[in-house]
Amino acid sequence: MEDKKYLFEEDKIWHAMAVMALPAIASQLIALVYNLADTWFVGRTNNPFMVASCSLVLPVYMLTIVISNVFGAGGGTLIARLIGAKKDDEASRVSGACIWMALFCAVIFSLLCFIFRDGLLRTLGASENVLDFSRQYMFFVVIIGGVPVILSNTLSSMLRSIGLSAKASFGLGMGGILNILLDPLFMFVILKDGQQVMGAAIATMLSNIIVVIYFIVIYHKAQKTTILSFRIRGNTPSMSSLKAIFGVGIPAATGIFLFDLCNIVINRLCASYGDIELAAIGIVLKAERLPLNIGVGICMGMVPLIAYNYSSGNTKRMDEFFRFARITGLVIGILSVILYYIFAPYIMRAFIENADTVRFGTQFLRARCFATPLMFLCFSMVHFTQAIGRGTESFFLAVIRQIVFNIPMLIILNSIYGINGIVWTQAVADLFTVIASYIIYFVIRKKENLGFSL
C-alpha cells in the first residue's frame, strides 16, 4: 500500500487525479457505449416499439446501481477514510461485509422483479405494442443479470477505494466491449428476425456474468497484498462502521433512485404523447449521458482522494482535489452544450432513421443539453459530501434536486407547455439545485471548521 499512500498524500494534484479519474472516465465511457449498444443495435431494426421497450426497462435496470451504491459508495468511502486514519483491520472487515450484504440484496431484488415483472412494466407505461419486448429485455438484463451487475459495481468500488482504479475500470470497460461484440451476434445471427430485443438482452446478461467473474478473480488476488477481504476477519465491522456504510450508502443510493424515479416520470409523461415520443426521449436520455458519464468518472476518481485527505487532516490537499475536479468537469460540460446543439440531428440519426423519432429527438436533445454543466456541479457536491462522510447532507441534496425541484417542475411545466416543458425542466431545476447545493456546502465547511474555499 506504500505506493498508493504516495498517490494520496504527496503526488501532484493533476497527476493523482489523472491516475484515479482517467481509468474511471474510461470505464464510464465504455459502460455508456455498452448501455447505448443495445439501443443502437435495436435501432437498426427501425422499429420504435423495440427501442421504446429498452427505454422502459432502463429505470428498473438502474435499481441495480441503486443497490450497489449502498455498499459500493457507502463502504468504499468509509474504507478510504479508515485507511487515512490508519485503521486497516476495520477497513478489511468493512470490505468483506459489504460484498456479502450486496450479494444478499441482489438475490432478493431479482426475485422481486421476477414476481412483479408485468405489473411493474405496465406501471412504467408499457403499451401492448412494447410489453412483450419489455418482458424479454427485463428477464435477461435484470432478473438474471441483476446479481452480477450489483456484485460487479460493488467489487469495483472496493478496488477503487484503495487506489486500484485502473483494475476497477478495466473490468467495467471489458463488459462494455463484450456487449458491443455480442449484441450483433445474438441479434442478427443466432436468433431469428423479430427476436432482436431478446438477443440484445442475452448479450448484455452474458457480458455482465463475465465481468463479475473477472472482478472476483482480481479481488481475490488483491486480498494477498491489501486490506480487501471476502471474509470478515476476526469479527464483524463495528456498529459505528455499519452506521457509516448505510449513513453514506443509503443517501448515495437514494440519489440514484430519485434520478431513476425522475426518468420514470419523464417516460410516463412522454408515453402519454405516443410511442414515437417515448422512443425519442429514450434515445436522448442515453445519448446525453456522454458528458455526464465523464463527470461521474471525474467524481469517482476524486472521492477516495478527498476521503483519505479529509480523514488524515490535510484540508488544503482535499480542497485542491475538489477544485481541480470541478473546473475540469465544467469545461467538459460547456463544450458538450456547444457540440450537442450543433450535432443533435446527426446523433439521433445514428440511432434510428425514423423521421418523426429523429425530429422529436433533435428538439429534446437541444433543450436538455443546457443542463449538462449544472448537472456536473450537482454531482460534484453530492460526491464531496459522500467522501467526507456527510450522509445527511448527501441525502438532502438528492431530495432537493429531484423531489423539491425536478419532479414537481416536470409535472407543472408539462401541464403548461406540453412536451417542451418536459425537456426544458432539467436545466431550470438544476439551476436552483446548484444554488441550494453551494449554500449547503458552505454550511458544511463551517460546521467542520474547514475554512472558506470555493
- How far is it, in rounded angstroms, from Cα 368 to Cα 378? 15
Residue 393: which H helix or E strand, with range?
helix 391-399
User: Taking the alpha carbons of 435, 376, 446, 94 in that order, is the dihedral positive or negative?
Assistant: positive
- 348: in domain: yes
- 452: in domain: no
- 421: in domain: yes
Q: What is the pLDDT of residue 412?
A: 93
Supply 241's cell numbers.
Answer: 462502521
- How far is it, in rounded angstroms, from Cα 258 to Cα 242? 23
Are 175 and 210 a contacting pair, CB within 8 Å?
Answer: yes
DSSP state of 192: P
Q: Which of 156, 326, 315, 159 is nearest to 227 (CA)?
A: 159
- 161: in domain: yes
Per residue, what are the HEC states of 20-72? HHHHHHHHHHHHHHHHHHHHHHHHCCCCHHHHHHHHHHHHHHHHHHHHHHHHH
Are 316 and 341 a contacting pair, CB within 8 Å?
Answer: no
Domain count, the chain: 1
Q: For residue 102, what are the domain limits? A: 2-447
Averages of pLDDT over runs of 10 residues in the chain (454 residues) are 68 88 77 69 78 78 85 85 84 88 93 89 78 87 91 88 81 82 88 84 91 91 82 75 85 80 83 81 83 86 88 88 92 93 90 84 91 90 87 85 91 91 91 92 85 67
- 453: in domain: no
Residue owning grid cell 476497477: 168
- 454: in domain: no
Q: What is the pLDDT of residue 239?
A: 87
Helices (H), 86-235: 88-115, 117-123, 131-138, 146-161, 165-185, 196-222
Q: What is the pLDDT of residue 120?
A: 84
Q: Which of 7, 28, 70 is nearest to 297 (CA)?
A: 28
Are 330 and 376 a contacting pair, CB within 8 Å?
Answer: yes
- CA 331 to centroid of chain Cα atoms: 21
- 384: in domain: yes
Are 279 and 127 a contacting pair, CB within 8 Å?
Answer: no
- 407: in domain: yes
DSSP state of 191: S
Q: Which of 347, 306, 321 is nearest to 160 (CA)?
A: 306
